[in-house]
Structure 1
Amino acid sequence: MKVVIQRVSKASVTIEGHKVASINKGLLVLLGIVNEDAQEDIDWLSKKIVNLRVFEDENEVMNKSLLDIEGDIIVVSQFTLHAATKKGNRPSYIKAAKPDIAIPLYEAFVKKVETDLGKTVQTGEFGADMKVELLNDGPVTIIIDSKNKI
């Protein structure tokens, strides 16, 4: 699993003109899934995200986690994170998991984050044409790949 994590002052997801998710201070997480991903990736990545110290403390040092600030999170499925761009100019998405594998893993990831965070996680809609709006705070943007834990 690969994620792009953005610290946001606010973020929302709109599908066909209807806002389906909206948060204030927290994290917007774009999640890409490959066939090899499993529960181990979900568990590791969820714990890493909710405990990632990217929010400022009283000394303006990034020393607080999403848990510490009681922030919110939106998780959006993003198969394009696994784009292969080595050859040519048209990205290939062959590494991205197909929906029959990706949807259950995406749903399991959201549930795990909810458990680890202790609150409801907002989401986009898997496979939908989504409009994602955000105000990146910092900006702080971090990329994590569960296959590169070491």
Structure 2
Amino acid sequence: MYPIRQTTIALTAALVCLAAVTGCTDGAGPLPTTPTSHSGITITFVSPSATADIPRPDRVTPEAAKQLCDMISPKIGEWRNQGPTVRKADFNFIVHDWAARNGGLNTQVIADRTIVDRITTQNCPDTRRQALEALQIGTLADGLIGFGG
């Protein structure tokens, strides 16, 4: 059996790893903590706050909107030189990738493909116009495949 000191070190290391993986804080959270003690070892568990800053997959942030524009813009020149299938597949990849990177917005895009048009109309209308020309489609929603119909 391990001596007490080795057990304490192993337990402390395990708790540090657990805290790093789960994003736990040092116990200074807004909810009261409940200490659990045993033979000189104290472990404190902190419950997540109801007001914690949790990403919302149903909301497009200004940063996410800018990121979509920034992801589309450099591809426009390539799309002009590609066939229709390749350029539309690439556009779909960009939108899927963007949605996944931003809290799983894929569900929102599936429910309403026109969100991509609204975002680009509000945040980068020139990029949107150029993308429509390069993709040879009337709306960006028309170019989305695999997001519902």
TM-score, length-scaled by structure 2: 0.30
TM-score, length-scaled by structure 1: 0.30
Q: Give the helix-richer structure, 1 or 2.
A: 2
Q: Give the strand-richer structure, 1 or 2.
A: 1
